[in-house]
Structure 1
């Protein structure tokens, strides 16, 4: 069991992905923008997403290194490149992954000022900070670091897979202000997290003289919380069909449950000026089922194997020396498996934007506050932040929106974040009658060699959008 948990933790540590949807945010032609801002302007009367095809989103990123840095063909030994990468990264560098799949999505207009929306989506969200001290210790060993402490606090990761049931209301309060809120019910499929660890490992000259060095494990306090995982990894669990059945139940409210809310607004102080903002996933999941927490705690000092070896086998044929050494370690460093409930908070996201609209259609009236017959062009700025275990992540985006003809709408973005200072993205939404299809991707400058990109984002979907004015 411990080996399985260790393997999963190592697997999570090499995944890389983020959650900023700068191309989708404030793209009011698409109903999915309501998931980014419940208070967005709504210009249609009804929408229905094609089940399982209305939105697929994948966002992957690494804040400090790309695959190209390791695998490029430059004549340098790969072991040297890995070591250089380890020392170039800091404990604040991170790898993240976010994936979303809409199961259903729909909405309808109650009246001229009120729009309701609903849906179900599956989401996987993982972040792992680079454990620099542990990486150096595993790669170089401790021979060259006598007297230097390696911190357990560098280990910090969080991963969850869950389904989200949501219902939202969008209300136009006045010609200038639209507000919105979305209630969410979370059903956790699996969760693992380990944050706020502490303690050190140090090799130093012996203080007793019995050996050259002594190894000190001091004030270790580490915890890994899991839910929905132990039963799947149990040694007596080998029935894949039962596992699939269990996971299916968790998707549809059979997992650990939680509650959350999204809120947002759109304010137009003047006809061509638009200010928006939203807070997403203000909520928590309460883990009470299939819960296991692994707790490491204690202090211990050992001088390792003595220079004068004791008899390894006594008269009874046992090996008391090694057994005693293991017993002494277990007595001082406790590794307990706990069953207590715990709570995890969702990674709350903040969005804000300013947009300037210009270029009306020739000679046509424009009710631009309500979102009908919008301007053909817009430029603006968007800010994004997501709260993470160690520190918030930030991104800033400049964008240009263009409505070409009546069937094609484009959005071009330039984003600066922890992954890149030259991230160019493009989104395209096609409208033919009520049929809508959209594609969005970023880091276009790295398409010739995608391995150079430190982040990659992809979104696409198919909707049916109905407007009584068309």
Structure 2
């Protein structure tokens, strides 16, 4: 029981902070846009992020319910709120979270100011989590099976991924000709903590026979893989969990954890000077877990007949429970396993207008100075354990002042059909500050929001579109 409690605490503690960065994507005044498309059309001579402050982002979202429905101080009993939330969801609803913190980042043009080749590199910490709402299991836990004769409760509803890791990366960006820019980014992942349970299956069904006898069948194929948390699950562990975790995070973040490799690919293409197409694949990668691994399985088949109150008509409740434990044992295993990073696909179309005079700008270093405004659309797709996550975004970009640009977005996704976002970036001298926020209409009462996204940061930039 202690192991289950600790695991739940670790996994659900991740849900305090969706992965779509629709405002940052193709917002090229920001060097951080290279993390969403290594083939972005950037014009900086060089940039350096302020350590620990260049990129701070947190995204959280849920479909089917919001925090207000569970925690509102409205006199409704919490159990009733939980039942209402379960009734409003299905097995395709989910809660997802992503948090990133850039430790350091930098980039520079290789071969002089006229070079078409750009290199960027850095390190960031990322927390990633995704859980599908286990609707059938929640109904079974809340109501039991008495009123659900003949219903097959799907144990495969249980699907969860949670990971804390650091990422070391280096990217290469080259303008191949006047129309095409290509980019790639290599990554080394160092996993700090991981919990994955995504390929589950099974069922629990009860049917009514004669003379109040019930036929009940359980088939369970459940498995939870973990790495980096075994000592906290040990029944004899009595250390300082907060202090020990800080030590583990520090040690494993710098390539001391379970390692993996990744790749990002991207491009920008101009069929005409004022028409732009982009696309990128982010996190084509995996992590191999071999250190501090521990897996928990609940596998087997059990069939029995009996009255519900006695569980098994052939013996006592205790006898039935012993039979059940033998038929579907709870085992602990120690084996290697591999997890795949959530793969993200971005693409965009942009039309630029309000052409400026060449005398107003240094066009050798500033592509946006050709056009004051632009409109466009974006598509985002992310892999999940079940079905891909999709989002469509329309946006408007404008250079407001010489050192101030904005991007306004409207996004339709599984969380909301009224997601309005705004990004602002300013550059004074060589100092750059940016702030991006999504779902602005929900900030009147964030507890009622199904998704929230923000990102802020400071950089030092030489050249670029805010010069």
Q: TM-score, normalised by structure 1?
A: 0.91
Q: Give the Å deviation of 1:9.
A: 3.3
Equivalent in the alignment of 1:57: 57
Tell me the alpha carbon deviations over residues 211-266 of structure 1, each in whole angstroms, 9 at most, x when there is no partner: 6334321x211111111111233233333344432221110000000000000000
Aligned: 1:20 with 2:20: yes
Aligned: 1:197 with 2:200: yes
Aligned: 1:41 with 2:41: yes
SS at match of 2:149: coil
Equivalent in the alignment of 1:331: 326
- Maintained 8 Å contact 1:13/1:130: no
Q: RMSD over aligned Cα, in angstroms?
A: 2.5
Residue segments in structure 1 that go unaligned for 5+ positions in a row: 311-319
Is the alpha carbon distance of 1:41 and 1:326 closer, same or farther for their aligned partners in structure 2, counting shifts above 3 Å? Answer: same
Q: Give the Å deviation of 1:63.
A: 1.4
| Matches of 1:309 and 1:147, distance apart in 2 | 20
- Maintained 8 Å contact 2:44/2:365: no
Aligned: 1:396 with 2:392: yes
Q: Give the Å deviation of 1:74.
A: 6.4
- Maintained 8 Å contact 1:13/1:95: no
Tell me the alpha carbon deviations over residues 80-101 of structure 1, each in whole angstroms, 9 at most, x when there is no partner: 4432221221100000000000
Match of 2:116 among 103, 113, 116: 113
Equivalent in the alignment of 1:313: none
- Equivalences for 1:13-412 in 2 at 5 Å? 15=15, 18-72=18-72, 78-111=78-111, 112-206=115-209, 212-217=213-218, 219-240=219-240, 241-302=243-304, 303=306, 306=310, 324-364=319-359, 367=363, 371=367, 373-412=369-408
Aligned: 1:465 with 2:461: yes
Tell me the alpha carbon deviations over residues 371-390 of structure 1, each in whole angstroms, 9 at most, x when there is no partner: 36342111100100100000
Aligned: 1:415 with 2:417: no
Residue segments in structure 2 that go unaligned for 5+ positions in a row: none
| Matches of 1:40 and 1:338, distance apart in 2 | 45
- Maintained 8 Å contact 1:13/1:128: no
Equivalent in the alignment of 2:424: 428
| Matches of 1:292 and 1:28, distance apart in 2 | 43
SS at match of 1:247: helix
SS at match of 1:238: coil
Tell me the alpha carbon deviations over residues 294-321 of structure 1, each in whole angstroms, 9 at most, x when there is no partner: 11111113436659999xxxxxxxxx95
Match of 2:446 among 440, 450, 453: 450
Pick which of 460-469 and 147-156 moved more. Answer: 460-469
Is the alpha carbon distance of 1:306 and 1:434 closer, same or farther for their aligned partners in structure 2, counting shifts above 3 Å? Answer: closer
Pick which of 52-61 and 367-376 moved more. Answer: 367-376
SS at match of 2:34: helix
Q: TM-score, normalised by structure 2?
A: 0.92
Q: How many residues align?
A: 457
Q: Give the Å deviation of 1:393.
A: 0.3
Q: Give the Å deviation of 1:71.
A: 4.4
Tell me the alpha carbon deviations over residues 139-164 of structure 1, each in whole angstroms, 9 at most, x when there is no partner: 11221112222110111111111000
Equivalent in the alignment of 1:9: 8
Q: Give the Å deviation of 1:367.
A: 4.3
| Matches of 2:311 and 2:33, distance apart in 1 | 68
| Matches of 1:270 and 1:308, distance apart in 2 | 75
| Matches of 2:160 and 2:413, distance apart in 1 | 20
